[in-house]
Amino acid sequence: MTEYDLIIVGGGPIGLACAIEAQKKKLNYLIIEKGAIVNSIFNYPLYMTFFSTAERLEIGDIPFNCLAPKPGRQEALEYYRNIHRYFNFNINLFEKVTEVQKVQNGRFKIGTDKNDYEAKNVIVATGFYDIPIIMNVKGEELPKVRHYYKEAHEYAFRNILVVGANNSSVDAALECWRKGANVTMVVRKNEINSRVKYWVKPDIENRIEEGSIKAYFESNITEILDNEVEIETPNGKVTIENDFVLALTGYKPDLTFLEKMGIKLSDDELKIPQYNAETMETNVQGLFLAGVVCGGMQTHKWFIENSRVHANMIIDCITSK
């Protein structure tokens, strides 16, 4: 069994940034990624545009050239593929980590669905896009209910219900409406989320105001049926015809996976992992967190542009020991 100085769990932009710093310090490292390289970005909607500008998505001091003011999914995939070509990472793709356990000699045993590894240090950079936040309503298990959105064509000329008022919900609602869908939104609060991209928020608000998209605010789905959806609104219960429900209610990190490693989580509903803000080391010595996984349920707190710095912090900590 090869012993590594460092194993990085997750091959997203932040995991790659950690690998770049590890290479600079000549650490013997391995990235293990359960899917494709930058798998979360691959699973984003086809025509998604980032909130961040291109230079804020850069890693490894490699320029991200982009013609548009904001890069889209395709450009980001191209950029991060080129990052791999340039740095030639030691990375295992389509291999899922199932266990990270500290053993008696102070090393970590890392088990996957394909192999076992041993490492002196581990970085968890697994993001948050794997586990949808469930609504827990009757009928949510029906095949017409989707927790991920890829593109609008499938929903053209159909009755679509979009749940939520965040970026993913708003983008889906507008794209489906523009492709000919009859779109209704159900929003738990009394307005569109203030964190929606500033160039998109007026668009959705205008479509709602003119009646092109119907929106029920301060409302919740109570039941999903084969051809209908029941909604509890401030004015009473409403039943509407429905072909598809896009329940884009957000996602969360695999908190159970973190707990199994021995990482302590806060007792409140935020479930923030315990770590040193200067080194990103958790309460388990030698086990580090990087990227959005640090925020627990606060998945809006960390993103690529403000968590790239985690890579330097972690590798500096490892090499100083």
pLDDT band at 128 (very low <50, low <70, confident <90, very high): confident
Domains of the chain: 3-131+251-320 (3.50.50.60), 134-247 (3.50.50.60)
pLDDT band at 273 (very low <50, low <70, confident <90, very high): very high
Indicate the average pLDDT of the chain: 96
pLDDT of residue 207: 98
Report the pLDDT averaged over residues 207-215: 98
Q: Please determine, for residue 1, whether its predicted confidence score (pLDDT) is greater than 80.
A: no
Strand partners, 245: 145, 161
Report the pLDDT averaged over residues 275-299: 96
Q: Please determine, for residue 105, whether its predicted confidence score (pLDDT) is greater than 90.
A: no
Burial zone of 214 (CB within 10 Å; 0-12 exposed, 13-18 middle, 19+ buried): middle
Give me the phi and psi of 281, to 5 degrees please. Answer: -80, 135
**C-alpha–C-alpha distance, residues 26 and 29, integer Å:** 9
pLDDT band at 321 (very low <50, low <70, confident <90, very high): confident
pLDDT of residue 129: 87
101-105, 116-120, 121-125, 279-283: least confident range: 101-105
Return the DSSP state at 224. E
**C-alpha–C-alpha distance, residues 163 and 250, integer Å:** 10
- Which residues does 28 contact at the CB level (< 8 Å), separation at least 6? 4, 5, 6
Is the CB of residue 169 less than 8 Å from the CB of residue 191? no
Per-residue pLDDT reduced to its tens digit, 29-53:
999 999 999 999 999 999 999 989 9
Report the pLDDT averaged over residues 225-247: 97
pLDDT of residue 299: 85
Closest by CA position to 208, among listed 173, 241, 236: 173
Is the CB of residue 223 less than 8 Å from the CB of residue 230? yes
Tokens encoding 9:
């769990």
pLDDT of residue 135: 95
Q: Please determine, for residue 69, whether its predicted confidence score (pLDDT) is greater than 90.
A: no
